[in-house]
Amino acid sequence: MTDSVAAILVHVPDTEAGLAWYQRAFPHAERRWLEEFDFAYLQVGTVDLEIV
């Protein structure tokens, strides 16, 4: 068991605008894509930032 955060869900009215905003807020974040879920998210270090 680990004591670290794995993912954070951020609820926004427009996911594409939310992804763009958080990408500017965390310029070192990597945008990732989960093909099987048709879902984009940002990886900030070891934490997945899921904009939903």
Residues 7-40: tens digit of each pLDDT: 999 999 999 999 999 999 999 999 999 999 999 9
The per-residue b/e assignment along 5-15, b for 16 or more CB within 10 angstroms, e otherwise, is eeeeeeeeeeb
At residue 3, the pLDDT reads 77
The pLDDT of 35-49, averaged and rounded, is 94
